[in-house]
């Protein structure tokens, strides 16, 4: 039924027997830098590549401060810790996200609240957020109180889905009114700009992931970015066991995490980051080719939102309904064209089923119909 489309996708990746959803390529300096890290004997969290990666990341994104972490989840956990999230606090995020966003909230023993998606960018809906806050919340002093639970809403985490920027300025404006700091989950959006500025730099803090399926990978790794010098200093301190620097003394002044990226991973990351702009431009070309094809086919393809330059991390199409989506997934995967549905909405998962949530009709409709199609960089 979808043979034409699958043949078209195969024609874009002619050398592959099985076309993955998003495969990394390591044809730059990856081997050289990783071997160099091994030869240096500095394979753990102290090493030149770790610091270099932070510097290069700041140079590329224009982040005033970049602090590496062991992965994207630990990066989100750290940002919430830095914002002083206490057990019993509440944190708003979107229902349509990867589980890590909500998990990091739970790691602080806080409760997520789930809001609906914007059908244009698939990220947090400004209207849904605003409506939730207007109906349920009140500002008392410097705190936003949920009238239903009497708990404090201590942060809001919008996520840039598949690299497509959300309306981050509008989300921050709404959150400012309610005294809620914003953490951007930019795990998927390295290379994505909104109104010319890199995603992740709008909120009080932003986080990135360098998992193997992301646009740039360190094997496993993450990054925290911020404009705030004090927060940056705290982020480095808390992710490095809160050890006070000294030549030999083991003095730790608070409970810290061992969340810093190892040098081996940072070596891989440095080599990958050298090519990020090449990757982004290549992925944008692929998206253009897909867009034209699906336009002709009468199948809805997700284009970048207005005002954004998206990295098109994962390309997405919409089928008419869940049945069609399932048929497409069956046929594609049976033909070695690896396609995936989007994540289940968070309240469908057992640990999040009792969380407060808004009407989620847009998110549900997206989840029912969306398919991610192969999106790897097409460079040798």
Ligand X SMILES: *Cc1c(COP(=O)(O)O)cnc(C)c1O
Interaction of residue 209 with ligand X, rule CB under 6 A: yes
Find the length of the chain.
Answer: 380
φ, ψ of residue 66 in degrees (nearest 5): -125, 130
Interaction of residue 117 with ligand X, rule CB under 6 A: no
Query: Looking at 33, 98, 194, 290, which residue binds ligand X (CB under 6 A)?
Result: 98
The piece of 45-53, 96-104, 258-266, 271-279 that touches ligand X (CB under 6 A) is 96-104
Query: Across-strand partners of 285?
Result: none
Least Å distance, CB 268 to ligand X, is: 14
Pairwise CA distance, residues 192 & 209, whole Å: 14
Site residues (CB under 6 A) for ligand X, limited to 315-354: none
Binding residues for ligand X, total number by CB under 6 A: 14
Nearer to ligand X, 97 or 111 (CB): 97
Q: Please give the structure tokens belonging to residue 345.
A: 């909405």
Query: Looking at 101, 311, 375, 376, which residue binds ligand X (CB under 6 A)?
Result: 101
Nearer to ligand X, 289 or 349 (CB): 349
Pairwise CA distance, residues 111 & 90, whole Å: 5
> CB–CB of 70/78 below 8 Å?
no
Pairwise CA distance, residues 291 & 118, whole Å: 20
Nearer to ligand X, 238 or 299 (CB): 238
Nearer to ligand X, 57 or 178 (CB): 57
Interaction of residue 187 with ligand X, rule CB under 6 A: yes
The piece of 66-74, 173-181, 267-275, 326-334 that touches ligand X (CB under 6 A) is 66-74
Nearer to ligand X, 187 or 329 (CB): 187
The piece of 7-15, 97-105, 192-200, 269-277 that touches ligand X (CB under 6 A) is 97-105
Query: Looking at 165, 219, 222, 305, which residue binds ligand X (CB under 6 A)?
Result: 222
Least Å distance, CB 108 to ligand X, is: 15
Neighbours of 358 (CB within 10 A): 21
Nearer to ligand X, 30 or 188 (CB): 188
CA-based angle 182:183:187, to the nearest 5?
A: 145
Pairwise CA distance, residues 66 & 51, whole Å: 10
Q: Please give the structure tokens belonging to residue 151.
A: 């708990």
Query: Looking at 188, 261, 310, 355, which residue binds ligand X (CB under 6 A)?
Result: 188
Cβ contacts of 161 within 8 Å, gap of 6 or more: 96, 97, 117, 121, 122, 123, 188
Strands 193-194 and 308-309: antiparallel
Interaction of residue 73 with ligand X, rule CB under 6 A: yes
Angle between helices 322-334 and 361-369 (to 10 degrees): 30
Interaction of residue 71 with ligand X, rule CB under 6 A: yes
Give contact residues for ligand X (rule: CB under 6 A).
Answer: 71-73, 97-98, 100-101, 159, 185, 187-188, 209, 211, 222
């Amino acid at each position: 039924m979808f043979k034409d489309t699958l043949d078209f996708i195969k024609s874009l990746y002619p050398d592959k027997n099985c076309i993955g959803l998003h495969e990394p390529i390591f044809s730059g300096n990856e081997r050289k830098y990783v071997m160099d890290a091994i030869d240096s004997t500095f394979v753990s969290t102290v090493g030149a590549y770790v610091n270099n990666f932070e510097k290069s990341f700041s140079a590329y994104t224009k982040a005033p401060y970049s602090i590496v972490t062991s992965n994207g989840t630990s990066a989100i956990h750290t940002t919430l810790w830095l914002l002083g999230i206490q057990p019993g606090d509440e944190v708003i995020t979107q229902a349509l996200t990867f589980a890590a966003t909500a998990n990091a909230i739970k790691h602080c023993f806080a409760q997520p609240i789930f809001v609906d998606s914007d059908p244009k960018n698939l990220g947090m809906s400004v209207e849904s957020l605003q409506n939730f806050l207007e109906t349920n919340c009140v500002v008392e002093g410097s705190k936003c109180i949920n009238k239903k639970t009497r708990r404090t809403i201590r942060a809001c985490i919008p996520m840039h889905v598949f690299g497509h920027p959300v309306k981050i300025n509008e989300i921050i404006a709404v959150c400012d009114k309610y005294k809620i700091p914003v953490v951007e989950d930019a795990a998927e959006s390295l290379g994505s700009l909104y109104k010319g500025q890199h995603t992740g730099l709008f909120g009080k803090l932003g986080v990135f992931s360098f998992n193997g399926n992301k646009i740039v990978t360190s094997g496993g790794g993450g990054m925290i970015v911020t404009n705030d010098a004090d927060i940056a200093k705290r982020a480095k301190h808390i992710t490095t066991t809160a050890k006070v620097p000294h030549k030999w003394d083991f003095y730790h002044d608070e409970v810290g995490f061992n969340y810093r990226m190892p040098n081996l991973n940072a070596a891989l990351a440095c080599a990958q980051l050298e090519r990020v702009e090449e990757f982004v431009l290549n992925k944008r070309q692929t998206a253009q080719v897909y867009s034209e094809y699906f336009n002709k086919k009468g199948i809805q393809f997700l284009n970048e939102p207005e005002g954004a330059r998206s990295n098109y991390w994962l390309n997405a199409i919409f089928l008419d309904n869940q049945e069609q989506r399932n048929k497409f997934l069956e046929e594609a995967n049976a033909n070695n064209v690896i396609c995936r549905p989007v994540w289940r909405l968070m309240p469908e998962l057992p640990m999040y089923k009792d969380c407060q949530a808004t009407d989620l009709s847009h998110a549900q409709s997206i989840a029912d119909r969306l398919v991610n199609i192969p999106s790897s960089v097409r460079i040798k």
